[in-house]
Structure 1
Amino acid sequence: MKFVHSSVRRAALCLALGAALSGNIAHAQSNITGIIFGQAEPGTTIVIRNAGTGFSRSVQVDANGRYRATSLPDGVYTVTQQRDGAQVAVRENVAVTIASGTDVSFTERSAMQELDRVEVRGTYIPVTDVSQTDTRSVFTADRLEKMTVGRSIESVALLAPGVVQADSRYPGGASFGGSSASENAFYINGYSVTNPLTNIGSTTLPFDAISQMQVITGGYGAEFGRATGGVVNIVTKRGGNEWEFGGLVSYTPSGLRATYKNIIYPDNGTPSDGLVHTKRDEVTVNSFSYGVSASGPLIKDRLFLYAGGEIVQQEQVGVLARPGNVANGLQTTDFDMPRWTAKLDWQISDDHLLEVTAVSDVEKRSVSYYGLTYDPGEDTYQYGSEKTGGYLYEEGGELYIGKYTGYLTDSLTLTALYGTQKLDDIADPVGYDPSQVYVSDTRSIANPIQRGAYQQLAFSDAYNETEGGRLDLEWDLGSHLLRFGYDRHDSESRQGQVTSGPGYSWRYESCGTGSGGTAIPGGGGALCPGGNGDYVSQYKFANGGTFSVKQWGYYIEDRWQITDNFLLSLGIRNENFENYNADNVVYVAQKDQWAPRLGLSWDVRGDSSLKLFANAGRYHLAMPNNVALRGAAGSLYTNEYFAFTGIDPVTGVPQGLTPLGDGPYSTNREYGQAPDPNSVAAKGLKSHFQDEVAIGFENTIGDKFTYGARYVYRRLQSAIDDMCDYRPAYNWAIANGYSEEGADNLGNALANCRLFNPGEANTFQLDDGTGTLVEVALSKEQLGFPELKRNYQGLDLFLERPFDGTWMARVDYTLSKNYGNAEGQLKSDIGQTDVSQTQDWDHPELMENANGYLPNDRRHYIKASGFYQITPEWRVSATASLASGRPKNCMGYYPDTPENEEFNALYAYGGPYYFYCNNQPTPRGSAGRLPWNKNLDVGVAYRPEFAGSRLEFGVDIFNVFNSQTEQNRIEYGENGGPGVPYNQAGRVVSYTLPRYARFSIRWDL
């Protein structure tokens, strides 16, 4: 290549190619296609052709010397400039990544006249994507194959700056920019695959089916919403004009896995100090993975197929018993995870494309329990061979997506997408006999009666289902790129529990000798029998149903190229959410929620080497289906009391029954009916939403390095949780002239836990005891809660050396602060999974001293990754992280003082749920921090020359130094009352995984 002026070399090459291949942070819209743009001679034609599929587009260069081709499928392209049908210049190997822009400019300078053809083959000049304004990381299949990283969506997402691992009690969860693990959105080929029940985690797919994966950490445009954390966008591989076949076998042997740490009782001055709480040093894990793929043309240049599948099998064996406690015994868990992906791409013509994707993600899990005996003298266990129980789980199902892209004119592009997904959620107990009645015995007798292993079971037909689509229109007006769109996503979940067997269970109890004629405690007026006072209660329980959430929105956005160097993105989105109970009635609705979005990109030097950017926006989030399960579902729980004359010796069922009382009694007045949907939540309930602003820059150092910085500020403006406080409604009723009985009814109605917006005024509709709803408007002061607070500030710094055919490396450092009195939709302090219904806001006393560093606060986080191609045959790689620990708490009982006597007697939770210890305030996060989390993963790969580089042998070692760091711990400091130490205070809940090795063989044909 020959250059006349070094100042125009970046414009003369396909500068963004390296950015695409290296997966560096780009600033783009969050769709699943890419853009090629640039400058050229006005009046010429730009022809863009995908060499792999034959797809081609032609666009005209406008009078200002600009061109832009949008909505391009990911892939590698050849870009040609033509004048009057004759080729003027060409750029080859131009990579298009999802939601990113690639600058391919042709100039009229003398350099261009000598540069008729540029072939970019393995060379790179680092640049920034000046065409976009948000913040993301893009990981290509080529980069993922070369890196040492876990084969999961979460493992890759954690490589992005500002992303930290969520509490281990949320499997697969991650926190983006200080948010809780339920505030993220996941997409496969443009369709949302976020867990519809809890919003934690997502559908996955064969790892090698991923073509590109983008991790968006903030600032995305108006076309997407419904996330206040981050967005993970995955595009699957597609076929081309050449048939290709591949496969992978990997093995993680238990023999090379370091010993798991036992969980030990902490040193709290109790007899249990230093003893084993959970024995983990005998846990063994063996894992295999087998994958194959095929792709190619069914009709050359027109119809293409990609199909890939993998089976992951894992066996885990471990002792779960504590010394002297053999109830759990030996547990074995067998995982069988068959997954497959298939994609058809039909290029009907160069102007009309049709894509159909199918994904199957199923996890089958068999859990078995075996008895054992413990010898305290020898400190040994003897395992039994007879199975004592277990469960068979099957979770997951199929996903189908169809997408149409029409290039209606050079300036008008239409895309339409539709998808549907059905996921089973089955849990079958091993050895369950549905004809057997569960029987328990609370009497103080020598041989209490026990029949059956399961008192309650999950619905046998539980499932989660989604359906949705979107329509987008893009209109290129030269300096303005207008975008309009509408999208909808509906989800449905059937979840719940019911009493096992015939739908009821028996429990033997006793009032005691000589108690005849006295009231059975909690018996609803039933009287104790004579004699020895023994009686039996028949218990019925059912909770759940089929619930749904409907979400839709529309947007308009203008991407205005103010000058050659300034891009302004102006957008606004309207969000709408409806949550339905099991009777298909709306119990919460949020309509016409306006979310403005603003972004700015400044190409300072005009050569894509230095970019300043800023963005600001508002983002909304709906409640998932599990909120209805707890807060809007009908719950049946009744007890009916009987005297009895005998007990069946085989079944344990009582005989000779005589009723005690007037039939079934329940504290639930509706006897299984769903609560009035108007009473479930505060009137006019606002959704969970957040505001965000960010500013940053990216710059290049010579031809080898890129560096940059971003400052981001996030503020949670509104949240939804439940409150369960009797007092505000009672006091309101007394102040408004109600009788004691009427005020008590309203107070009890509010105490049943109603959804509300914490930290502000709320109006409730409460049952006055007669079935009539009374509107109770309560100010922030009357409710007594502090203002909601969750603020996140982060400074992300990075330095990257993109891949040049030999090596690449990237280092990120994040300095952040996550501060406030509520984590968001979850409560990691205690691992609570009740989304939007945490313990936090149940009554004001729980929020005293709650302001402080939140569970997802990691003050310092360093991430580094890279690989080096030593020779064409040998490659080494490494991934490392160093993170400061999460803040710790000491939670205890509400202070036992005279002024708190009434509250403790009538309203306080009888447990260590308050930010007090030893009757003293212990503000959130004030008990220190967990240790720093240090991790190093390394790998080596060998592609023998004799196999023509189509065969690769690999070894990866994870957590090389076996740094098993505690991830979380018990944060209760008291048990049994104020000032009573808890012998498990500070006990570790989980550690990071021990060192293990993964062997793999990959082949490409």
Structure 2
Amino acid sequence: MKKYCGVFVCLCIFSFLLVGSSQAALTGNITGTIVDDTGNPLPGVMVTVQGTGLPGIRSDTTREDGRYRIVLLPPGKYTVKAELPGFKTLERKNITSKINDTTRIDMAMQVSTFEEVVVVTAEAPVLDTSTSSVGVNINREFTERLPASDSFQDAFSMGGSTTGSGNPFVHGGTHVDNVYLFDGIDATDPVTHTFGANLNADAVEEVEVQTGGFSAEYGKAMGGIVNAVTKTGGNKFEGIVRFAYTTDSLKAPYNAGHPGYEVNDHFEPTLSLGGPILKDKIWFFVSYRRSDYASSQDVRTDRFFEEEGQPYELTSISNDQLWEYWVGKLTWSITPSHNLELSWSHSPAKVDNDSGLSYHPEAQEQYEQGAGAPRYGVAWTYIYSSNLYFDTKYGINTIYLYTKPMNDSGLPGVYDRKAKIYYDNYTSTRTDDRQKWSLSTAATYVLDDWKGIHEFKIGAEYQEMESESYFNYSGGRYYEMNYYDRDQNYSYADDSEFGQEPYRYYAIVDPKTDKEKGEILSLYVQDGWEVKPGLTLNIGLRYDQAEYFNKLDESVTKLDGMIAPRFGIAWDINNDGKSKAYINLGRSYNTFDLTIVGANPGPTSIDQEWRYDPEDPNAADDGYYLYGQSGGETSNDRLDDGLKAEYADEILIGYDREVSPNWSAGVMLMYKATRDIIEDVGFWEDADGNMHMATDVDMSDQAAIDEWYDRVDEQQEVRYYYTNPSDAYRDYYSVELHSSARTEKFSFEVSWTYARAEGTTVNTQPGDYFTSYMQHFTVYYDTPYLSNNIDGRLYYDVPNYLKISGSYRLPLGFVIGTRSWWKSGYMYEKYGSKLPGPDGEMGTEDDINNEDPRYGDGCRLPDGRGAGRLPDVVMVEFSVQKDFDFGKWGMLTAIVDIDNFLNNQVNLSRVEDEDDWGREDGWAGPTNISFQLRYEF
């Protein structure tokens, strides 16, 4: 870190002397032109802005061309006031400022000999015609009228070309290609590169979702960027008291054979309060939500592979959960030019019996986490003038994740590889403590009169992340079984004949604590160049550098040369703020995460694999022999000295049009190509030190295949080369129609996307039971057979996706809302023991020798990627709300939310194992009704 500190301090000073912008915007701008009633520009007009997002006021004076600019406005509602002696004062109310958005408010002032004020409730423009970025801005005012919209991730999933929830796939990116920001500060998990913290939705003012066309100030993501900004309080005390009530008595029954999940009647309280400490000077906001579930779920009790037509044997176990969400913010307008924000959040959780359907009751885990535990942020903005302003942020995000067995039997866990069942005990104990902190500084300089108007930005960020983890197997071992007949009552402790013992077990010798660290340095410069009114070029260049260190503080790898050019054109064809044609070309990099340290972690625990065969000459008395081991003082894995960072190149073209005030619609086309994907590739090494890669084996040469596996077995361990396989890729194509509206009566976000996602790797392990197991490194390049026949439609390929989120205000204070969607089903694979032989046909004589000896039970794709597709999904969530307005005493709202309104218990997953491929094993839950009372004052 020392080698970067001096550079970074210089950059901080440099940004204050020159020009730039923040690493992640928290604010928007209001700009425009003021003219007289004959259309001539008016210089010297005093323009002031005051509203809900900012203590005090912001002001500017119009220039010779009548232009003004009010900058760094947090999201909220504002009043714009224009004053000039000899003219009627103008006030435009209810102007919305959005994150990273420029709102254009033009005004015409009339001559007057009296002191008159003209007040207009403004219809603010719905399009920012100066940017070529794409995405959506979702504020809490919109989401609170929707059913069951109580997390910031709900806003992420509303964007077009976004599939999945929680950690979604954005424009063909994977789970680990997104960046999550809270109050502009990176809260992405440093190990999984998924969201690393949660927020209570009542604490969120607005969520900005960017899905493409990033400007140079945004990086470290090849998918999407979500920026959740928390509330700031205000000049009067306001708050929300909410009680949510859930009862299973109003849940429809699960369809026959479907495992159930039950939540006992419970209340979920939320309290939020904001207000002034000093009016127009210091505001505060605090919020707390408690979700305490006394719940249960169905899990399997059978131990054997399910036969066709026979249901699982299920039992119900407790699944009690406690989730808490704390948020706090202090906003201080030190002077009209200096603003300081301090933010804090914490979201601890504890869940009993959290392992799920495939774990017997005695094999469940207890899970604890402290996502953002806690998260601190400091943001300081300084406005030297409306043409020069600065932004500096510091943030720290800590996370803990602990898992352990629910029972204290001390027995090892057992896994049946064919039945995909865990029993006897949960397999392991794990503790993870993670931390990420970052410091960014930047500035913006606007040059009004040099061949148009330029908004120059320059910025720098330094980020450091650390992880410390410990892992060991329960009872010191972890057994794996293969499939046996249903009438065998197997337990690993039986003294059974050969063939009924677990065929292998794993053990760890001298468990050690693992430690990793990473440092990222980012620099960028960009120019928003308004060549002429209505035509803006967005030109930028970003540079990222990432270096990762092991527990010995040795550099494992350095991902350098991440130079990302960005170029966009935004054209307001009629220069009236009502239409925009745009094009954007750019490169984005994923700066990776701490999992790369696994290539050279330093001294580690020794992982041993023991196989059962009493006839082996090396077998001990219990019939097991040491098959292989890895770890220890040094790692025999290799890391490519020329390792390159993963990148995505994209091109998007679109057109948006204002349909009517506060309602817009548009179309967009996108192509994205992801390359230089990093994977671990299996290899063996000859006497001359030459590596023989799994991906280099000629799959038509059986002798070459057999030699590769024989040589790997001789080395008695799996060895990996961390590199960029030349055939690893992802491609994405889409056409998107979208529409957005915010009016007094109705508000909605609607999108339809036609897309294709294809490639070779998706950052998840194979098999339906690994669907949610997200990481960078997969098994696809471990062996020759696993490297073959792996390209095609990716499992999150969704050709058609229609989303509707909206609400409508009825008479008598009623509001109805919905979140509904229709989408094509996900792809699912067929994982088999063998691939077709050289003739390309299964079931012929040349299939005999093509079974992978290291993955004999089926990880290969005999039919290629995307062998099957799940059925289409139609889901409707519905909400009915009734407002009771008590005037100055506040408003009470009664809410009824209906989840899965159509009771469509559609099939959501199927078995991917070849022997039972295509059998349904996961479904949507039934209709469920919940209630809320919300009191706002």
Shorter-normalised TM-score: what interval?
Answer: 0.7 to 0.9
Deviation at 1:368, TM superposition (A): 8.6
Aligned partners of 2:640 and 2:402: how far apart in 1? 34
Aligned partners of 2:717 and 2:113: how far apart in 1? 78
Which residue pairs with 2:156 in the alignment? Answer: 157
Aligned partners of 2:807 and 2:113: how far apart in 1? 38
Deviation at 1:888, TM superposition (A): 3.6
1:999 counterpart SS class:
strand
Alignment of 1:246-261 (within 5 A): 246-261=240-255
Aligned partners of 2:328 and 2:749: how far apart in 1? 33
1:193 aligned to 183, 187, 192, which one? 187
1:255 counterpart SS class:
helix
TM-score (norm 2): 0.82
Over 3 Å counting, the alpha-carbon distance change for 1:833 and 1:79 in structure 2 is same
Which residue pairs with 2:484 in the alignment? Answer: none
In the alignment, residue 923 of structure 2 is paired with which amino acid?
Answer: Y
Which residue pairs with 1:820 in the alignment? Answer: 759
**Range 690-699 or range 810-819, more displaced:** 810-819
2:323 corresponds to 1:350: no
Aligned partners of 2:926 and 2:788: how far apart in 1? 38
- Deviation sequence 1:904-941 (CA, Å, 0-9, x none): 4776631322221xxxxx232243x2111101111111
- Deviation sequence 1:802-847 (CA, Å, 0-9, x none): 31x2223343111111122223566686526251211222234334
Which residue pairs with 1:755 in the alignment? Answer: 722
1:628 counterpart SS class:
helix
TM-score (norm 1): 0.76
**Range 863-872 or range 40-49, more displaced:** 40-49
Aligned partners of 1:749 and 1:562: how far apart in 2? 65
Which residue pairs with 2:704 in the alignment? Answer: none
In the alignment, residue 344 of structure 1 is paired with which amino acid?
Answer: L
1:229 counterpart SS class:
coil
CA contact (8 A) 1:549 1:577 kept: yes
2:533 counterpart SS class:
coil
CA contact (8 A) 2:524 2:540 kept: yes
Q: Percent identity of the aligned residues?
A: 22
- Deviation sequence 1:413-467 (CA, Å, 0-9, x none): 111111112222122434537xx6869999xxxxxxxxx966864245x312111
Which residue pairs with 2:47 in the alignment? Answer: 47
Aligned partners of 2:402 and 2:596: how far apart in 1? 20
Alignment of 1:129-528 (within 5 A): 129-165=128-164, 172-261=166-255, 280-281=259-260, 283-284=262-263, 286=265, 288-322=267-301, 329-367=315-353, 391-396=365-370, 397-432=373-408, 457-460=428-431, 462-478=432-448, 479-499=453-473
2:633 aligned to 673, 679, 697, which one? 673
Which residue pairs with 1:910 in the alignment? Answer: 856
Over 3 Å counting, the alpha-carbon distance change for 1:993 and 1:141 in structure 2 is same
Aligned partners of 1:639 and 1:855: how far apart in 2? 31
CA contact (8 A) 1:182 1:826 kept: no
Over 3 Å counting, the alpha-carbon distance change for 1:632 and 1:968 in structure 2 is farther
Over 3 Å counting, the alpha-carbon distance change for 1:608 and 1:726 in structure 2 is same
CA contact (8 A) 1:260 1:283 kept: no
- Deviation sequence 1:90-123 (CA, Å, 0-9, x none): 3222111111111111247x899999855444x6
CA contact (8 A) 1:503 1:541 kept: no
Aligned partners of 1:846 and 1:441: how far apart in 2? 22
Which residue pairs with 1:797 in the alignment? Answer: 737
Deviation at 1:689, TM superposition (A): 1.0
**Range 177-186 or range 943-952, more displaced:** 943-952
CA contact (8 A) 1:158 1:165 kept: yes
CA contact (8 A) 1:329 1:370 kept: no
**Range 904-913 or range 30-39, more displaced:** 904-913
Aligned partners of 2:819 and 2:664: how far apart in 1? 19
1:55 counterpart SS class:
strand
5+ long unaligned stretches in structure 2: 1-21, 35-40, 305-311, 417-422, 480-491, 612-619, 694-706, 840-845
Aligned partners of 2:686 and 2:848: how far apart in 1? 15
Which residue pairs with 1:635 in the alignment? Answer: 605
Over 3 Å counting, the alpha-carbon distance change for 1:370 and 1:789 in structure 2 is closer
1:684 aligned to 642, 661, 665, which one? 642
CA contact (8 A) 2:412 2:475 kept: yes
2:907 aligned to 966, 971, 977, which one? 966
Deviation at 1:851, TM superposition (A): 2.6
2:671 corresponds to 1:713: yes
Which residue pairs with 2:814 in the alignment? Answer: 874
CA contact (8 A) 2:86 2:112 kept: no
CA contact (8 A) 1:719 1:824 kept: no
In the alignment, residue 394 of structure 2 is paired with which amino acid?
Answer: Y
Over 3 Å counting, the alpha-carbon distance change for 1:321 and 1:856 in structure 2 is closer
Which residue pairs with 1:649 in the alignment? Answer: none
Deviation at 1:130, TM superposition (A): 0.8
Aligned partners of 1:669 and 1:807: how far apart in 2? 61
Over 3 Å counting, the alpha-carbon distance change for 1:728 and 1:825 in structure 2 is farther
Deviation at 1:346, TM superposition (A): 0.8
CA contact (8 A) 1:810 1:865 kept: yes
2:527 corresponds to 1:558: yes
1:198 counterpart SS class:
coil
1:859 aligned to 774, 799, 802, which one? 799
In the alignment, residue 990 of structure 1 is paired with which amino acid?
Answer: G
CA contact (8 A) 1:80 1:87 kept: no
- Deviation sequence 1:359-402 (CA, Å, 0-9, x none): 0111111229999xxxxxxxxxxx9xxx9575432201211101
Over 3 Å counting, the alpha-carbon distance change for 1:208 and 1:791 in structure 2 is same
Deviation at 1:567, TM superposition (A): 0.9
Which residue pairs with 1:811 in the alignment? Answer: 750
Aligned partners of 1:824 and 1:407: how far apart in 2? 43
Deviation at 1:865, TM superposition (A): 2.3
Aligned residues: 846
Aligned partners of 1:439 and 1:724: how far apart in 2? 28
Aligned partners of 2:86 and 2:656: how far apart in 1? 38
Higher Rg of the two aligned structures: 1
Over 3 Å counting, the alpha-carbon distance change for 1:942 and 1:914 in structure 2 is same
Aligned partners of 2:627 and 2:765: how far apart in 1? 30
1:234 counterpart SS class:
strand
1:562 counterpart SS class:
strand
CA contact (8 A) 1:720 1:825 kept: no
In the alignment, residue 156 of structure 1 is paired with which amino acid?
Answer: A
Aligned partners of 1:370 and 1:76: how far apart in 2? 45
Over 3 Å counting, the alpha-carbon distance change for 1:280 and 1:453 in structure 2 is closer
Aligned partners of 2:821 and 2:229: how far apart in 1? 27
Aligned partners of 2:210 and 2:691: how far apart in 1? 49
Over 3 Å counting, the alpha-carbon distance change for 1:173 and 1:439 in structure 2 is closer
- Deviation sequence 1:235-275 (CA, Å, 0-9, x none): 0001111011221000121111222346xxxxxxxxxxxxx
Alignment of 1:815-854 (within 5 A): 815-824=754-763, 830-831=770-771, 833=773, 835-854=775-794
Over 3 Å counting, the alpha-carbon distance change for 1:316 and 1:64 in structure 2 is same
Alignment of 1:925-964 (within 5 A): 925-927=866-868, 929-945=869-885, 950-964=891-905
Deviation at 1:588, TM superposition (A): 2.0
1:592 aligned to 538, 547, 561, which one? 561
Over 3 Å counting, the alpha-carbon distance change for 1:848 and 1:311 in structure 2 is same
Over 3 Å counting, the alpha-carbon distance change for 1:997 and 1:504 in structure 2 is closer
